Structure 1
Amino acid sequence: MSIPILPAKLTPPPLPASYIPRERLDRLWTEWGGKRLALVAAGAGFGKTSFLSARARELGPQCLWYSIDESDGDLASFLAHLVCLADSREPAGEQARTPPAASGTRGAGAAGTASAAEVLALLVRALRARGRQALLVIDDLHLAAGAPEVLRFLERLIRFLPEEGTLILASREPIDCGTTKWRTRGEVAALTADDLRLTAEEVAALYRRRFAGATHPESVFRRVVARTEGWAAGVEILLQNLEADSAPAIDAALARVAAAGTGWFAYFADEVLRRLDPPTQDFLCRSALLPRLDPALCDQVLERSDSRTVLERLCERNLFTFAAGDESPGFRYHRLFREFLLEQLRRRHSPAGVRRLHRRAARALARSGAWADALAASAEAGDPEAALRLVERAGEDLLVSGQYQAVESALARIPEGDLRRHPGALFVLGRLCDVRARWHEAEARYRQALRLSASSRQRAELLRLLGRLHCRWGRYAAALALFRRAQAEPGSRHWRTRAGTLVLVGVSLCELGRIDEAETRLAEAVAILRRRGDRFGEARALCLLAANVHRTRGDYRLGRETVQQALVAFQKLGDRRQVCYALCLLADLTLAIGETREALVQAAEGLRLAEALEYPSVEAHSRQTLGRIALLEGSLAPARQQFETVLRIGEALAEQEFAVMPRLGLAEVCLAQGNRHAARLLARAALASALAAKVPWPIGRCHLLLGKLERAPEPACRAWRRAEGIFRRIGARHELHRALLLRLAAEALPPQRRRRILQELMAGVARFEHDFLLREVEPEAGARLLVEALRQGVEVEYACAQLVALGPRAVSPLAALLGDGAPESRGRAVVALSLIGGDGARAALERAAVRSGEAGRAAREAVAELADESTPPLRIRALGELEVHAGPHRLTHGGWRSARALRLFLLLLVHRFRWVPRDVLLDTFWPDAEPEKAANSLRQTIHVLRRTLEPGLPGPHRSSYVRFRNEGCRLDPGEGLTYDVEDLEAALQQGERLWHTGQKERARERLLEAVALYRSDFLVEHPYEEFAAAEREHLRDRVLRAMERLLEIRATAREWEELALLSRRALALDAYRESHHRYLVLAHLRLGHRREALAGYHAYEAMMINEMGLPPAERMRALAEQVVALGPVSPAREG
């Protein structure tokens, strides 16, 4: 009997109108051409047939196609179609894809009588005749899974395939055709559902096919991918249901196609569920109720013992069931498929039956300790009492572990009347609102719980939480009253509760300006925690002591030492959030001391950690410090950017502190730009926030800045006097000194009163080491006041040292003192100018040298010492290998006569040609030596250094390059110095300025120049010299910022090769920055270098997990998914 041949089965099916080429999948054909076999296994609707059909149609006669249906489980039918396929020729035009048996049964008789061996030989000859890259595609092979004769034939076909041919088997589930041997030989390629999933870019291309010119952000399409898991049929159904081109229309379509009986659900019902036997359908529907498909859990809830076997089979058959993919041994359903199954469960079982199943699941989950899932199941079961018991038992632990959504969903299903009867549940609900930043709602819930609670310990905790909310709002008096009530509760007598309350009391007292009381309470808390061995609590209390007492008072060094103790404790405990907090605080205190570069390193590290840990309050503090550093350096655009970011974070957190300080920072930026009006508006807004909170310290800070914004002296001095009064009352010494400094610089005071204030100021800044205030915060006023101190003989040594530290900025007021000061003060001015050096100091001394008297003689000597002897200037390269040119002499690392002289040169170089105090030199090089021996060693080392730089220097002549006095030593490089570090900083500064003014192309040129100058780290051959560490980190951080700009420019310009090279260089400097890893992976992704892209991601992932103890960032995981979606790439191709 003739076997009917269906031509449509031997022709690639037509492509859907919406089909788009998928480059990442098309690249697989090059690889498959060198393989014997390619297996394509994916569930219904993943687009495998469309993908194969598109390629088959492009290849034309080189590709033979056979779509199996249910009738082809019969070997005779199967062979008959293969004979017709093998007999096909290559006619021209549209008939090229139509086999000779296209009409009726022609050729079927011969096929029916041919043996399997004859058909096999015929098929092999047909493939060989088509030459290299010949393909045979057999689609829908799962329909013949129950036909062993067909599978045996395929096994023989695979064995005898010609070298020219490749067999592609496409199926909804894996089919065993004896491929193990070929797999071990590497002759089998595979394509799975994971490879076929659509990416956000591909979904966007499909969308633009439907709506030409659409420009939605990528996040819209990522949302579609997340909802559909890249399932092609699901995306197509969604697009068919779109009624308009808009993001809301997409959301509406997502909801519409999920409705029962339509869209996705109709597809699952027709293509998946109806093809399964009833027991499997029942298992799918009932197990979909569980939050995870753990086999043991399924056995308990479904009351069976074979769940693992069933789940493994479903996974093998690609029935929208996948391995969990993490460390757990379970499985999961496709999200949309699970929604469909839950709908089927509600249709097939009564509501009471579904609730019973939920209750059974809740009990099983609670027994296993899965509290969040148990809570959700109890709520779904409509059992509020059970849900309330679980909330009261495990709710707070769930919040601590970050499972907010689970608690919130469960609580939302509990009737309000039931909630109001359970103080424990109200307590948990209040905590949930607290962490969700719904603070007013949290306050209401805490008060409800407080009224109902009979537990003294719970009442104490509720009072503490209410007090913390008031602290957040700046209501410190109300907070203090609540903390006092908490202390009075019998339940607060436990040492941990007592110490925690003391800490909160101390913080509130400090904010109210009662610093001495605050210090007492915080010290009590530290003592309790130390006595009990609570290292974490002690370290946390030490941080708060430093932040709220030492910092406010201006005891910055004591505060830094305190925070360093806490930081070490947090590092030993491995608490990364607290390490991040301590780093942020340490940076703030280090900046206040004046160690700007070290503060920059600490703040940048704190910011990096805060972003990785999603710790917004610490991120805001770190950015505030970075903004202040940028402001001090004159980088106004970066400073503005940091302060504006802090302000946005503060608005999101609704914290009072971030309503004041960033506005003051922005006001100072505006003042530096000459925009007094904008600065005044910002400062007044900050003052309004501070006054509303009634916190004295920020109120005083606002008055300080408002005084600087006044043009007339009298209103300015009135504002400073207000600030002075506040700071005196609360004991804020640093800010008091700043107010006194500004007053003295601007206000006309009676001589005796002026001298008294000057003495108080100079004694205070010397005692508390507030040098930074004079040198960097208020340098102009500081220089004038220091010169006045010299004139009046107030703290002369300290004033002279600070003027020298100010350098060229002090020359003008010192020159004025040379002209009108008393002889003694003129002599002090000469000493200071000679130590400062430079053209300005030399010119001032030359003018003074023509005068008679002791001061004139000293000026002439100083001029002689500073005179230019026509010595060639130094040329220094310190970025990378050290290289020094002193005239004709060239010195490299190995050319120094003395290691000690080299170290001295490096220390002087780090101080950038400024005077280095003698004590600093002795403490650095001879810390344990007797003073006289150390001084002698210093003189000898200076002698060797001079002879190294100037080998021909005559004995009695002064060195041109190394200046030395009893007070200190410095390098004098001469006029016309060439120093690569200064060239680097000039290029960086200009590049940053151009960047922030929008001149991106010119900024690019200067930043590229800077990166080229950075051969390697500063003094890279001397990694263990501590005095060079801060300079090294400062320069590296600035270069990394430049590289960040350039990476952004390269990525925007789609310069992928250059982006990859620059990313690798950036990673060599800092392997911990996520952006560097991201740009490297992105570059290789866009270049199609899958192996390199995956290697880059895996290096980042290993670093995050092994070194930082954190999971990879979400956007890096999303990027990795795009890389994986490229599919496997052959070594030959990638090579």
Structure 2
Amino acid sequence: MPRPLDVELARPRLVDRLRGRWCRPVTLVTAGPGFGKTTALAQAVRANLLEPRGIDAWVTCGPGHEDATRLATTILDALAAAHGSQPGVAEILQALHRKAPLDVCLLLDDVHEVPDGSPGAELLAALARALPATAHLVLSGRVVPGLPLARREAAGEVATIETADLAFTDAETSALARRFGRELTEDLHGWPALIRLSLTAGPAASWRYAAEEVLGRLSAPMRETLAALVILGSATASEVSAVAGSPVDVEHLVRTVPLVDRLDDGRYRAHDLWASVLPTRHMRATAAEVLVQRGELAGAGRVACRAADWTLLARLAVELVRTTLSVLPSATARRWLEAVPAHHLQEPAFLVLTAAVRHADDFADPFIDCLVDRACARWLDAGDHDGAAVALGQAVITAHSRGDLTRLVAVAQRAQRLEARSPVLRLLRHSVAAVVAELAGDPETALTHLAQAPTSEVPQALAVSTTRFHVHCLALCGRGRDAAELAGRMLTGDLSRRHVATARWFDGEPVEFQGGNEDGTARDEFVARAFHAVIAASFGEITAELSAEQDNPRDAVLTCAAQAAAAVTRGDEDLARDLYKQHLARWPADIKVAERHLRRFLTLGYVLSDELRERWDSTDLGPSHRRARTAGRAFLQARQGDLRTDLPEEHVLCFLPLPWSAELAVRQAARGRTKLGTWLADRVGPAAHRQFRELARDPGLAAGAAKLLATVPAPPHHPVGIEVLGPMRVTRNGLTAQAPELRRARVRQLLGLLVVRTVITRAQAIDLLWPELDPASAARNLRVTMTHLRRLLEPDRAGGEASYFLRSDSDTLRLVRSDRLTVDLWSFHELSDTTRLSEAIALWRGEPLPDLTDLCEPEIAQIRARHVGNLLALGELRLVTGDSSEARHLADRALELEPFEPRGHRLALAAALRARNPQRTEEVRARVLDSLRQLGVRPDPATEILLRQAVTRS
């Protein structure tokens, strides 16, 4: 944040008005250059540090902030809030909400750098519309983007400070003149910067004259230093030295030249007014290099555009495309292209930049290929292989987005002619060579090339794209564990989770899949749907089927496997065989790339196609594919009566559609082995029992199916609910059960233990419930109690049948989670996030697990603490939405449970202040102070801010 110069005039009237930003949701500060907007804001921020009203977060806007993602990232950094790689207004609002109950003021200086109508301006508009009640927005600049503020203005929620407010009054001008020991003879209309400069340089008839008086006193090196600082906007001393071409003394410049400041972060800044009187053209190339090195391509582009240096801008355009690829900051790219004269737009750099912008708008645009090819050809004609590599990189991204194999082959062949000199060129060479190998059905050779690709030395966008293809090739080779490890190490966020989960699943490890596919291309969506269809078949589910018309073997395999898995799930195995037969007729297995992609779903092909089975039985496969082949063999052998192969249950689930895994379980049950059937029923749920019942109609499988149905409990007809957040209740089909078993204390205690811990050993249950009895008597009491508990939970189940909810073996007792069983405590834990807090709080009926107060004291204390946290979190959310009454109510509820909770006292204070209720504020303040006295501690900084405000407003 900028600090005012030591010689700057303190302006209490203006500081007081700017401190009023804490009273209005939005404050607009607009004036031309030199009117002290930044200095006045800095003084107001410092005044807040002396008497805090809340938290200030300062953002200085600059070139590139027209891009919404970059602006959001800068704002979140100012708020010290964690964020992903592509944040937006939702993340900013969440960060502001998390600061509640404290007020937060977000100050954006130089907001004129965010052009009207740009994505950055749209982000600010969305922020202004949804601003939380505890947040304040200050926009300061020469102009302010058009924001939807009509409603707020009508409600008196917008404060405006303009040129007239910022101009020096006669009294302030005189005070500043006395401090300089000079007399101001010219009427400069209160223009602060010009008044300061004139007092420094002597009487002036114009800005230029005053500036020349100052410049005339500077040595040539100091003028170069000032010019370097002007062209950079803000910079460190070392950056200024790099542009000036020699060591510099910027501190001396600050002391001797007006309108030059040292910022709080150690950087320096020269006022924009100096740009009109200092030549900087000779420095632009070096300045651009410095800006590029610190990651400010947009700033470097502004330097080039202002100087109409299209050669420099062309070089920056290449760098912008090279370092961003499919996440191009489109607003910045469009601004550059709009500035370029028409006759320069046919240069290769601007052709590829235009192609990148078109890709961002619509990757299916056929004109992209023409633009990229023309750029590549011109660079190659000029011998510029680095430029050609950038063009081909954009071509690869576009072709990959479309799934255009023909285009990829053509690009790969052209890339072979490039000379590998830089890391990017070497990466491109190896990547396209890997693509060619993969398309030829040789993913092992592709991996050899990818292993040599320098992903750690290139822009992140290139590294991510290459890593995803590397993961894909590992999977094609049957190396699922290696693929999962690479994806987990090199990718981030949802992208990492999706790739890791898919690789692990087809390696034989069942994992949970969360979230959709948000990579942004139709190709990614198509692949995700195909994999989802095959995985869904393992659970007996059928998803929307893919189109049968595909013009390449890769996508044809995805469609064939997805449709065949659905056919098997419907019980139409003959149709599934026909699908594979038709596929092989069009794309024979002798086509290497077709056969390698068939291995991705190896078990399906192994069981359904004699041709593929014979081929794969004599092929050296990768580890994941060997596991899939073993699963297919075991299933076919079981159909022949050979059950010697004992597969891990996880492999059965991952590699076989549910009808096949259920059939295998039934065949094993006929031989007295029910473990697989039990595991499937637990993991898959009711769909497994539906398959067992279907198989019971087959005379050859009926015996095994009947045994499983008798041994593995089926879900009950009516849903059951267990409530322990208050006096224990059991519901059936939503109605409270009036069951005599609930009058038994030991039944309630055993059920409570199972709710809290899910699994307990018999020895633990006996030690907790019957510590005074001998082992035999205690074991007998446990059996009787379990009988009553089974009857309580499932009164309609016939005698002799295993309980669905309560499972037991020789050592343990378990309460099984199921969609037929709801437990308020389980729901309470699952709902305790910011989006469903009210639902979690509504479950609370009183002291939890009252029958286990002495047995589970730590667990009960944790439940109570979470409930208090939920109350306070929801109260803070209500406060930021302006509902101070509900916030106060929730704070009071929390303090009833935890009277000394500091967060609860802060919320109660903030709610009283927001309600502008002096009596309530004083009552809450007294309660907070009494609590602090009893604890013998000082208030934390946040509480101290609120206590100070309570004194001020009471």
Using structure 1 for the length normalisation, give the TM-score.
0.43
Report the equivalent of 1:384: 310
> Where do 1:711-790 residues align within 5 Å?
730=595, 732-733=598-599, 735=601, 737-738=603-604, 759=636, 775=653, 781-782=659-660, 785-786=663-664, 789=667
Which one of 439, 446, 456 corresponds to residue 522 of structure 1?
446
1:131-153 superposed Cα distances (whole Å, 9 cap, x missing partner): xxxxxxxxxxx9xxxxxxxxxxx
Report the equivalent of 1:292: 233
> Where do 1:814-853 residues align within 5 Å?
836=712
Which one of 689, 693, 699 corresponds to residue 559 of structure 2?
699
Report the equivalent of 1:482: 411
Report the 3-state secondary structure (helix = DSSP H, G, I; strand = E; otherwise coil) of the residue aligned with 1:877: helix
- Which one scores higher on RCO, CA 8 angstroms, separation ≥ 6? 2
The separation in 1 between residues aligned to 2:905 and 2:371, in whole angstroms, is: 49
TM-superposed deviation, 1:656: 1.4
The separation in 2 between residues aligned to 1:445 and 1:374, in whole angstroms, is: 25
Distance 1:661 1:562, change over 3 A: closer
The separation in 2 between residues aligned to 1:191 and 1:1043, in whole angstroms, is: 21
Report the equivalent of 2:767: 891
TM-superposed deviation, 1:741: 8.1
* Aligned AA (2:501): A
Check conservation: 2:565, 2:576, Cα contact below 8 A: no
Check conservation: 2:467, 2:487, Cα contact below 8 A: yes
Distance 1:444 1:875, change over 3 A: same
1:263-314 superposed Cα distances (whole Å, 9 cap, x missing partner): 9999996453454343675559998954424485889889999864675799
Check conservation: 2:328, 2:360, Cα contact below 8 A: no
The separation in 1 between residues aligned to 2:494 and 2:18, in whole angstroms, is: 52
* Aligned AA (1:891): D
Check conservation: 1:984, 1:1010, Cα contact below 8 A: no
> Where do 1:440-455 residues align within 5 Å?
440=365, 443-454=369-380, 455=383
Report the equivalent of 1:230: 138
Distance 1:230 1:1128, change over 3 A: farther
Distance 1:1010 1:710, change over 3 A: farther
Equivalent pairs counted in the alignment come to 687
The separation in 2 between residues aligned to 1:413 and 1:1125, in whole angstroms, is: 52
Report the equivalent of 1:658: 525
Check conservation: 1:707, 1:716, Cα contact below 8 A: yes
Report whether the alignment pairs 1:806 with 2:680. yes
Report whether the alignment pairs 1:330 with 2:268. yes
Check conservation: 1:44, 1:272, Cα contact below 8 A: no
Report the 3-state secondary structure (helix = DSSP H, G, I; strand = E; otherwise coil) of the residue aligned with 1:687: coil
Distance 1:519 1:385, change over 3 A: closer
The separation in 2 between residues aligned to 1:715 and 1:883, in whole angstroms, is: 44
Using structure 2 for the length normalisation, give the TM-score.
0.50
TM-superposed deviation, 1:785: 2.5
The separation in 1 between residues aligned to 2:705 and 2:946, in whole angstroms, is: 75
* Aligned AA (1:972): D
Report whether the alignment pairs 1:219 with 2:133. no
Which one of 546, 568, 586 corresponds to residue 500 of structure 2?
586
1:838-870 superposed Cα distances (whole Å, 9 cap, x missing partner): 899xxxxxxxxxxxxxxxxxxxxxxxxxxxxxx
Check conservation: 1:1060, 1:1079, Cα contact below 8 A: yes
* Aligned AA (2:559): I
TM-superposed deviation, 1:380: 0.7
Report the equivalent of 2:71: none
The separation in 2 between residues aligned to 1:1014 and 1:375, in whole angstroms, is: 68
Deviates more, 1:292-301 or 1:372-381: 292-301
* Aligned AA (1:806): L
> Where do 1:669-1068 residues align within 5 Å?
683=545, 686-687=546-547, 695-704=555-564, 707=567, 730=595, 732-733=598-599, 735=601, 737-738=603-604, 759=636, 775=653, 781-782=659-660, 785-786=663-664, 789=667, 801-807=675-681, 836=712, 875=751, 877=753, 890-891=766-767, 950=779, 971-972=808-809, 986-987=823-824, 1003-1004=839-840, 1055-1056=886-887
Distance 1:1014 1:1046, change over 3 A: farther
1:218-237 superposed Cα distances (whole Å, 9 cap, x missing partner): 62368999xx98379x89x9
Report the 3-state secondary structure (helix = DSSP H, G, I; strand = E; otherwise coil) of the residue aligned with 2:767: strand
Distance 1:1124 1:692, change over 3 A: farther
Report the equivalent of 2:17: 48
Report the 3-state secondary structure (helix = DSSP H, G, I; strand = E; otherwise coil) of the residue aligned with 1:485: helix
The separation in 2 between residues aligned to 1:691 and 1:982, in whole angstroms, is: 42
Report the equivalent of 2:221: none
Report the 3-state secondary structure (helix = DSSP H, G, I; strand = E; otherwise coil) of the residue aligned with 1:491: coil
Check conservation: 1:872, 1:887, Cα contact below 8 A: no
Report the equivalent of 1:272: 192
The separation in 1 between residues aligned to 2:892 and 2:607, in whole angstroms, is: 51
The separation in 1 between residues aligned to 2:42 and 2:907, in whole angstroms, is: 33
Distance 1:766 1:709, change over 3 A: same
* Aligned AA (1:759): L
1:200-223 superposed Cα distances (whole Å, 9 cap, x missing partner): 8999xxxxxxxxxxxx97623689
Which one of 555, 559, 563 corresponds to residue 480 of structure 2?
559
Report the equivalent of 1:98: none
Report whether the alignment pairs 1:471 with 2:337. no
* Aligned AA (2:409): L
TM-superposed deviation, 1:483: 0.9
Report the 3-state secondary structure (helix = DSSP H, G, I; strand = E; otherwise coil) of the residue aligned with 1:230: strand
Distance 1:1088 1:983, change over 3 A: farther
Distance 1:714 1:561, change over 3 A: closer
Report the 3-state secondary structure (helix = DSSP H, G, I; strand = E; otherwise coil) of the residue aligned with 1:703: helix
The separation in 1 between residues aligned to 2:572 and 2:698, in whole angstroms, is: 27
Check conservation: 1:42, 1:193, Cα contact below 8 A: no
Check conservation: 1:46, 1:196, Cα contact below 8 A: no
Report the equivalent of 1:117: none
Report the equivalent of 2:803: none
TM-superposed deviation, 1:486: 1.9
Check conservation: 2:891, 2:908, Cα contact below 8 A: yes
Distance 1:413 1:538, change over 3 A: closer
* Aligned AA (1:378): A
Asked which structure has the greater CA Rg, the reply is 1
Check conservation: 2:556, 2:583, Cα contact below 8 A: no
The separation in 2 between residues aligned to 1:457 and 1:450, in whole angstroms, is: 9
Deviates more, 1:286-295 or 1:467-476: 286-295
TM-superposed deviation, 1:559: 0.3
Report the equivalent of 2:419: 491
The separation in 2 between residues aligned to 1:42 and 1:499, in whole angstroms, is: 58
Check conservation: 1:814, 1:833, Cα contact below 8 A: yes
1:646-697 superposed Cα distances (whole Å, 9 cap, x missing partner): 4xx45xx334122563599699999x999x9xx7xx54xx528966997223
The separation in 2 between residues aligned to 1:818 and 1:711, in whole angstroms, is: 14
TM-superposed deviation, 1:324: 3.6
Structure in which a larger fraction of residues adopt helix: 1
TM-superposed deviation, 1:520: 2.5
Report the equivalent of 2:472: 547
TM-superposed deviation, 1:449: 1.8
The separation in 2 between residues aligned to 1:1013 and 1:294, in whole angstroms, is: 62
Gaps of 5+ in 1: 1-38, 55-141, 143-169, 176-182, 204-215, 601-624, 627-641, 745-754, 841-870, 897-943, 955-959, 962-969, 1023-1036, 1065-1077, 1090-1122
The separation in 1 between residues aligned to 2:877 and 2:588, in whole angstroms, is: 45
